[in-house]
Amino acid sequence: MSVEVYSECRIQFNSLTNKSINFDRCLIELRQYDIGDYNLRAIDLNNRKFEIFNWPLTNRNQYVFALSIEQPDILNGKNEICRIWLNRNSRDKFHEILRTCLEEFLIVNDNDTNYSSQLNNQEKSRKFLHELSTEDEKPYYRNDEPFECITCFDTIEKNEGILFRNCLHSLCKPCLLRLIETNTEPIVKCPHDDCTALLEERELRGVVSDLNADQKIIDRLHDVGMRFAESRNKTFHCITPDCTHWWFIEPEHANDIIFCNGCKHWICLACSVIHEGQTCSEYQDMKKLKEANDSTVRQDIEHLELMIKNKEAMYCPGCRVIIQKAAGCDWIQCTQCKIEICWPTQGPRWGPKGRGDTTGGCRCRVDNGKLCVPNCQNCH
């Protein structure tokens, strides 16, 4: 089997009963199984790539090409008409290769047994997709038929187990709970051989809740995951009060303005503020003008500069926000960028690779037990 050409598209089904089913974001493929043996297959990209149809091409008039980009192509099935709006960037290539296939290479098959079988499979796939869509708001999918658990080998009856959303593999709930309790990584992977799919947090919490286990085992995984991710990446936490959203920031995106799905604001990473409706230069000009005319602001700036000079405050080595330490040990963490800081040296606690990297940072007790500064409080 080979995929000859593909295109993103939007699809609408119309059955003989005039019932319409719409799929907003799909991928349609022209597949060749043998010489002259072609199928058109479509998957729904919004529903974890579930197969919408896989129809054999048995008639050269089965596919009708639209005359303009605004009009849909028409694919005729035995009991349905499928309207397809192709992506404008891939439409011409898709038409060219499909037209060549239909006109020059398609072998018309008078035996429709294979066609009926394909329609049968498509109907089963659609029913299964519909059943899963009704459970989308639930924490996890339930098994629609009995299965043998790969871990404990018990037979799990219908609706008593779990189907993982990202791979549709099955497992019994007690075995999943044991997997969560013994997992030492910040993420939980599907235990089936060669499967790399990750389990969703709501699936884990759903099973823990069903079995009346302590929700703290999920919180532990969440905390480990947060520390693991933030120690290896530059992150940005939303600056809107009471908003808990945060992002990984790549170096090439350092000056982007990003949209926060939590507070619904556009946030400028370069300025670390919300200045919707203004460019960065416009905001900075306005800020300078305000500071120049605001004696209180000038006094605050002078006071902060004095505190920094007297080492009562410092600029974060990660994001340059001003940090104060009222009390406590010499290890602190920036609330903005989460970098770990050595207060006496006013530099990063660790090297460029993050937590545990002793090639840089303050190197306290790394070199034959030598302290980073003579008066280090031995707290890191």
pLDDT tens digits, 44-53: 888 777 888 8
**69, amino acid identity:** I
Q: What is the pTM of this model?
A: 0.33
What's domain 2-133's architecture? Roll (2.30)
Of residues 287, 318, 281, 316, the one with CA closest to residue 301: 287
The sign one gets for the Cα dihedral 189, 192, 196, 197 is negative
Q: What's the whole-number mean pLDDT along residues 26-41? A: 86
> What is the H or E stretch that residue 331 is in?
strand 331-333
pLDDT band at 355 (very low <50, low <70, confident <90, very high): confident
**Could you say which of 9, 26, 316, 329 is catalytic?**
329
Across 66-95, average pLDDT: 87
Structure tokens at 359: 């090639």
pLDDT of 197 higher than 70 = yes
Is 329 considered catalytic here? yes
Strand partners, 248: 235
Q: How confident is the model at residue 167 (pLDDT cuts 50, 70, 90)?
A: confident
**Is the pLDDT reported for residue 266 higher than 70?**
yes
* Contact (CB, 8 A) for 53 and 41: yes
Q: At residue 183, what is the residue type?
A: N
Q: What is the overall mean pLDDT for the chain?
A: 78
CATH class of segment(s) 147-227: alpha beta
Domains of the chain, residue spans: 2-133, 147-227, 234-277, 314-380
Whether residue 38 has pLDDT greater than 60: yes
Q: What is the dihedral of CA 234, 238, 241, 242, to 10 degrees?
A: -90
Instruction: Give the chain's count of helices (H) and strands (E).
Output: 7, 20
Biggest alpha carbon distance in the chain? 90
Phi-psi region of 236 (alpha: psi -120 to 50; beta: other; left: phi over 0): beta
Write out the two tokens for 156.
Answer: 């799990």
